Amino acid sequence: MKQRIISGGVLGVLALVVILAGGGLLASVLFLLSCIAFREVSKATGVYTEGKRINGLEAAGYAGTAVYYALLYFGQGCLENVQEFLALVIIGSMMVMMAVYVLTFPKYKATQVISGIFSLIYTSVMLSFIYLVRSLPHGIYFVWMIFISSWICDTCAYFVGVTMGKHKLAPVLSPKKSIEGAIGGIAGSAAVGALFAYFVAEKQITDVSVTGIFALVSAVGAIISQIGDLAASGIKRDHGIKDYGKLIPGHGGIMDRFDSVIFTAPLTYLLLILLL
172, 274: one domain: yes
Question: What is the number of domains present in the chain?
Answer: 2
- Using 50 as the pLDDT threshold, list the residues of the chain that sit under it: none
pLDDT at residue number 96? 97
Residue 3 maps to which CATH number? 1.20.120
Q: Which domain holds residue 146?
A: 138-276
| Domain final residue pick, 135, 164, 179 | 135
Q: What is residue 265's predicted lDDT score, i.e. its pLDDT?
A: 97
> Residue 231: its pLDDT value, please?
95
The reply to whether 119 and 155 lie within a common domain is no
Looking at the structure, tell me whether residues 44 and 172 fall in a common domain: no
| Residue 1: per-residue pLDDT | 59
Q: Which of 135, 167, 189 is the last residue of a domain?
A: 135
pLDDT at 73: 94
Residues 149, 105, single domain; the answer is no
Q: What pLDDT, on the 0 to 100 scale, is given for residue 50? A: 64
Report the pLDDT value the prediction gives residue 207, as an integer from 0 to 100: 83
Residues 187, 142: Cα–Cα separation, whole Å:
19
Give the pLDDT score at 2. Answer: 65
Same domain for 69 and 151?
A: no
- Residues 151 and 186 occupy one common structural domain: yes
Q: Which residue among 135, 166, 189 closes a domain?
A: 135
